[in-house]
Structure 1
Amino acid sequence: SSVEVKDSMLRKSSALVLQLGSLLKENFGPATTLSMFGSTVYGCATVDSDLDLTFCIGDQEMDVETKRKVLKKLSRVLRCRMDFQCFPILRCRVPLIKIENKNTDVKADLSVGNFAPMSQAKLLQQYSSMDPRFRKLAILIKHWSRTRDINDGSNLINSFCYCLLVLHFCQRVEPPVLPILSQVKLVHSGGLNFSIGDDIRQDCKVGGRVDWVSQNEKSVSELLGSFFKYYAQEFDWKETVVTVSNEKPLLKSDVQWREGQGQ
């Protein structure tokens, strides 16, 4: 519990979101909207987690160069404010600004037009609501990986990937803690409609309540031990990949790797 986000920090984070939302509307027009995604949305944030935010300007679609120009303009605005520190990181696949509120120490990564992670967050939010052990186990694994310097999105796997490792394990442990969502039914109609691959595609639309009660009675500490045993002794790292949407193991030979991705 010492690594979980406290209510006081959540209130400060909410205040930052409101403050940034107003600032964005002032500078880019009233149609500008700010959205949150990432671990704060699906309940797996820790005390050292940054907020993940993205904004869009109406229905405007932007290429990477336009996004860089928009963020460069925003960084100039933020630097004129006494209560913000900002560090633009524009020459990367997803340009963003790292922001820190000097008064509250709340930190955020702010991008523009970055919609894919919002679907990812909704999916994990759905799973988090189905069994509280998933969220607690994910927080423990995130904390463990950071204390051992093996959680770095630039060279190693990031926090979201660790959450997927936890999710995959929770689906494979016997009896399973969580289901594969494509194989369960909804309690009420119109709640869940998604098509999802192993890269968590944008067409994932998650909502509603799933008719699922796990028969697994293990505690979080017992599951933690089983998690390490599963990936150390049982998972076939040589031949298979981690999947959260396939009932059967997914072979590396069956995956169409994107250009630039290693196997």
Structure 2
Amino acid sequence: MTGSDAAPRIDTSRPHPARVYDWWLGGKDNYPVDEELARRILALDNTAVRGARANRRFMHRAVRTVAEAGIRQFLDIGTGIPTEPNLHQVAQGVAPQARVVYADNDPIVLRHAQALLHGSAEGSTDYVHADARDVGSLLARAEESLDFTRPVALSLVALTHYLGDEADGDDVHGMVRKYVAALAPGSCLILSQVTPDLNPEAVAKAAGAFRAGGTPFHPRSITEFQRFFEGLELLGPGVIPVTGWRPEAEDVAVQAEGVVPVYAGVARKP
């Protein structure tokens, strides 16, 4: 496990996206301030819980897909609080020798990182405590476990809507381009993102609640989402609502309950 030697302080006075997400997934690693925001958003957007679970299932399907295609290295940024099956369990279920690096900047994720480090005997798992926006530092730490001269699957599931791309703020498209530039040909980008396209009113209200709670939140249109994949080769079925990306039985059932305002896609670096 790499990162700062000093354990960061957990701020329980304001909500954190990873802990709000944990509450939606039925987890216990959250605080009253997180639950309060999670409930407030759920009251405004009744797809929030289904969306969190749909994102998780998309990650499972996408990781299996690229592992079955031969990728044996995975970098998961914005990992969140461990929820089984975790990414390494899915990847190593296909290829026991798979190597996985997790990265997040939430101290509570760091506290639970040990749960992410029990992989297969043949493979490896590691955790990097770092901010996604500090691209150079995060990649340097990940390189201690991964070989960037060989294909890597970069997972950015349910992360980019917490990062802005305004001229005076975070350039999230530029950030993703930097990560992709560091990857070898044959690598894959796995990405999902909240969109206003599919439920504008509810998503606008949820975004307002996040921002009022001190968390930046940036839903993106399909055009903005597709920009993340510029220069890459999209795998079928392309950019699509998250429950429609190579759905399994449970995803079909969720689709029947109504739209989940999240886009998803997986693309290969030529």
Per the shorter chain, which TM-score range?
Answer: under 0.3
**Structure possessing the higher relative contact order (Cα contacts under 8 Å, 6 or more residues apart):** 2
| TM-score, normalisation: structure 1 | 0.27
| TM-score, normalisation: structure 2 | 0.26
Q: Which structure's CA Rg is the greater one?
A: 1
